[in-house]
């Protein structure tokens, strides 16, 4: 007597399909390369685009520099006193030059977009200032000399992941 395995095979395929639906696949940050003088690096894909992050060491350990696949940098600094939302009249200052930026806050951090040339100025100066809400809320961030190497690693990371 031969066994008909088609119903059993169908049951296994249905169970596997249900398990796949129950646990959706999610991308997660993965490490990228070795640390550089305390800087840690991660890579991720968000909305189909690469995002690489550098987590600062030492006294500025709460600063996160992101490099998006488009080539734009985003400086993320702690700022629990800044209301969540868009801040179109924010400023990003390097040396004696301040430029307006469209910042975003989530209630814990402020995110400031920075183009590649301005990031070069931050590397040279080793610091930047930010302000939102008409300079009522602001901060000053200083880096150690390894910032340039960290930024270069971020550039390598986005290129390795298909970005600029």
For residue 1, is it within any domain?
Answer: no
Residue 106: both structure tokens together: 């989530």
For residue 72, is it within any domain?
Answer: yes
pLDDT value for 9: 38
- Is it the case that residue 45 has pLDDT exceeding 60? yes
pLDDT in tens, 116-136: 999 999 999 999 999 998 778
For residue 67, is it within any domain?
Answer: yes
- Is it the case that residue 143 has pLDDT exceeding 50? yes
124 Cβ contact list (under 8 Å, min separation 6): none
153 Cβ contact list (under 8 Å, min separation 6): 32, 33, 36, 39, 41, 54
Residue 17: both structure tokens together: 């399909």
For residue 8, is it within any domain?
Answer: no
pLDDT in tens, 101-110: 999 999 999 9
* Total tally of structural domains belonging to the chain: 1
Chain CA centroid to CA 140, Å:
20
For residue 18, is it within any domain?
Answer: no
Q: Which domain holds residue 96?
A: 27-160
- Is it the case that residue 40 has pLDDT exceeding 80? yes
pLDDT value for 75: 97
Spatial separation of the C-alpha atoms in residues 134 and 63, rounded to whole Å: 22
pLDDT value for 125: 97
pLDDT value for 130: 96
pLDDT in tens, 55-82: 998 766 689 999 999 999 999 999 988 9
CATH number at residue 61: 2.60.40.1880
11: helix, coil or strand? helix
For residue 102, is it within any domain?
Answer: yes
Provide DSSP, the chain.
-----HHHHHHHHHHHHHHHHHS------EE-S--BTTBEEEEEEETTEEEEEEE--GGGTT-EEEEETTS-EEEEEE-TTSPSEEEEEEEEEETTEEEEEEEEE-SSEEEEEE-HHHHHHHHHHTEEEEEETTTTEEEEEE--TTHHHHHHHHHHHHHHTT--
56 contacts 64 by C-beta, under 8 angstroms: yes
Higher pLDDT, 12 or 158: 158
For residue 79, is it within any domain?
Answer: yes
End-to-end C-alpha distance for the chain, whole angstroms = 64
For residue 11, is it within any domain?
Answer: no
pLDDT value for 30: 94
């Amino acid at each position: 007597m031969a066994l008909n395995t088609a119903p059993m095979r169908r049951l296994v395929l249905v169970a596997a399909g249900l398990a796949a639906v129950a646990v959706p696949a999610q991308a997660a940050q993965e490490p990228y390369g070795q640390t550089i003088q305390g800087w840690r690096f991660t890579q991720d894909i968000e909305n189909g685009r690469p995002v690489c992050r550098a987590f600062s060491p030492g006294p500025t350990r709460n600063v996160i520099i992101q490099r998006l696949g488009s080539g734009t940098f985003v400086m993320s600094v702690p700022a629990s006193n800044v209301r969540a939302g868009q801040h179109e009249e924010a400023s990003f200052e390097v040396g004696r030059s301040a430029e307006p930026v469209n910042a975003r806050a989530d209630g814990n951090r402020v995110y400031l977009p920075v183009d590649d040339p301005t990031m070069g100025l931050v590397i040279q100066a080793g610091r930047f200032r930010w302000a939102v809400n008409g300079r009522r809320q602001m901060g000053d961030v200083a880096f150690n000399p390894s910032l340039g190497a960290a930024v270069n690693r971020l550039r390598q990371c986005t290129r390795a992941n298909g970005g600029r």
